[in-house]
Amino acid sequence: MQDCFGNPVTLADAASLAALNDFVEGFAACQLRVLKVLDIAAQEPGVLVQAYAAALHLFAETPQAPTHAQPFLDRALNPLQPATPRERCFAQAVQAWALGEVDQALARLEALLREHPRDLVALKLAQVLAFNLGDSPRMLRLALLCRAAAADVSYLHGMLAFGYEQCHWMPEAEASARRALAMQPREPWAQHALAHVMLTQGRLTEGRDFMQAASPGWQGLNSFMQTHNWWHLALFQLELGELDAVLKLYDQQVWGVAPDYSQDQVNAVSLLARVELAGGVVGARWQALAPFLAPRVRDQVLPFLDLHYLYGLARAGWPEADALLRNLIRFAPLAPAAQRGAWLRVAVPAGRGLLAHGRGRFEEAVDQLGQALPRLVEIGGSHAQRDLFEQIYIDALLQAGRYSAAQNLLQPRLNASPGSQRLRRQVDELNRCLGL
């Protein structure tokens, strides 16, 4: 038997192939049908079925996720279970991920892709893990391993596009995204990569119109991809000064699809913060969001996530923000080796700075965020997502009266995106303060 991309698979029951393929293609396409593999996991002992089920649990991004994944991994790693070397290697990579050994997981996936470049599940997972480490060149290198063998698959070009974009290779990113969309016009990851390109290049009206036209195809996507593409549309509207439209999107599309899920919470925190930084008023939305963030105070799964939870709780005025920061500081020296430096040297000062900003202590925010920003890439996330923390730093400079330092950061941003009404308003106000 073969999966939908032509990779041999070992299954006890041929009837399981349909659900396995729902995961394989659904994972590449960011579709909810990936969940169908869970429906057969109790009856189908195949190594990939078990490893895919384990991966779904790990994507919950909670401290309990590895525990929930382990029974599936125990079955996947059973040496008596028939499997190909590719299948065993993938299961071992997922096990390493569950143990926090991300470097080992990536090494196994990269070795797998060199032998099996049409295993786009392995590629997608490897890109996610590299993304969480802030290793954009590795994201691109992994996709390039598969380019020749999987050139006929639209999802490969979407993954290439995002790898190029995160490495700031914009022409190549756009070409790959458009190639994917020519093959599959509703390919959401390619749409997402192209939105990144257009935002980075200041093509704001074009980006808004492109994402608006693409939005009917986002039904049936997983909650992250659905809410995140709406989030990208909202960023274009925000830059164009359409704050009422942004808040409408927040209420109707960005928040509430899967409010218990980490990535949906991150999108919500990020968008509310950006609206406030752009001069908007979000009303009671922080208070409505905080009850979903408060249970996260002991998570410490990824520094990128913790920093968003912390800032959202701080803006809501909840004391759990202080508890989260204490837990973050306590966890940092104990973090898995692959991310320990990011926790210690980035997340700790950034967390202190974000809490200070949320509480109106702007000089402290400038000092702490200033320590974190040069290495911010290490916490993962895209450069569009990490831009939130740079915007908060600039706001802290303005609120602290550090106008010269703020001017040095704001004017180049406006030069790169001259159509941004948000930046134009901030620069005009700053220039009045500077007497320019």
Q: 364 with 353: CB under 8 angstroms?
A: yes
d(CA 171, CA 183): 19
Q: What angle do CA 100, 102, 108 make, to 5 degrees?
A: 125
Q: Two tokens at 315? A: 């803006």
* CB-neighbour burial class of residue 405 (10 A; exposed 0-12, middle 13-18, buried 19+): middle
Structure confidence at residue 218 (pLDDT): 96
Q: Two tokens at 75? A: 């079955």
Partnered with residue 2 across adjacent β-strands are: 8
Q: What is the pLDDT of residues 51-88, one digit of tens each?
A: 999 999 999 999 999 999 999 999 999 999 999 999 99
Please give the backbone phi and psi of residue 7, each rounded to the nearest 5 degrees, phi first: -90, 130
Amino acid found at 105: A
Structure confidence at residue 282 (pLDDT): 98
Partnered with residue 31 across adjacent β-strands are: 221
Hey, what's the torsion of the CAs at 55, 60, 64, 68, to 10 degrees? -40
d(CA 197, CA 391): 19
Q: What is the pLDDT of residues 308-365, one digit of tens each?
A: 999 999 999 999 999 999 999 999 999 999 999 999 999 999 999 999 999 999 999 9
Q: Two tokens at 152? A: 């006929």
Structure confidence at residue 383 (pLDDT): 94
Domain boundaries, the chain: 1-143
Residue 211 gets which letter from DSSP?
H
**pLDDT tens by residue, the chain, 436 residues:** 999 999 999 999 999 999 999 999 999 999 999 999 999 999 999 999 999 999 999 999 999 999 999 999 999 999 999 999 999 999 999 999 999 999 999 999 999 999 999 999 999 999 999 999 999 999 999 999 999 999 999 999 999 999 999 999 999 999 999 999 999 999 999 999 999 999 999 999 999 999 999 999 999 899 999 999 999 999 999 999 999 999 999 999 999 999 999 999 999 999 999 999 999 999 999 999 999 999 999 999 999 999 999 999 999 999 999 999 999 999 999 999 999 999 999 999 999 999 999 999 999 999 999 999 999 999 999 999 999 999 999 999 999 999 999 999 999 999 999 999 999 999 999 999 999 9
Structure confidence at residue 150 (pLDDT): 98
Nearest to 250 by CA among 265, 279, 224, 272: 272
In the chain the first and final C-alpha atoms are separated, in Å, by: 71
Q: What angle do CA 337, 343, 349 make, to 5 degrees?
A: 155
Nearest to 414 by CA among 406, 100, 113, 229: 406
Question: Which residues, including other chains, have CB under 8 Å from residue 152's CB and lie 6 or more apart?
Answer: none
d(CA 157, CA 150): 9
Q: 106 with 138: CB under 8 angstroms?
A: yes
Q: 175 with 196: CB under 8 angstroms?
A: no
d(CA 133, CA 128): 9
Structure confidence at residue 295 (pLDDT): 97
Nearest to 407 by CA among 376, 432, 371: 432
| Angstrom distances, CA of residue 257 to CA of 27, 120, 288 | 19, 27, 14
Please state which CATH number belongs to domain 1-143. Answer: 1.25.40
The H helix count followed by the E strand count for the chain is 24, 0
Please give the backbone phi and psi of residue 31, each rounded to the nearest 5 degrees, phi first: -105, 155
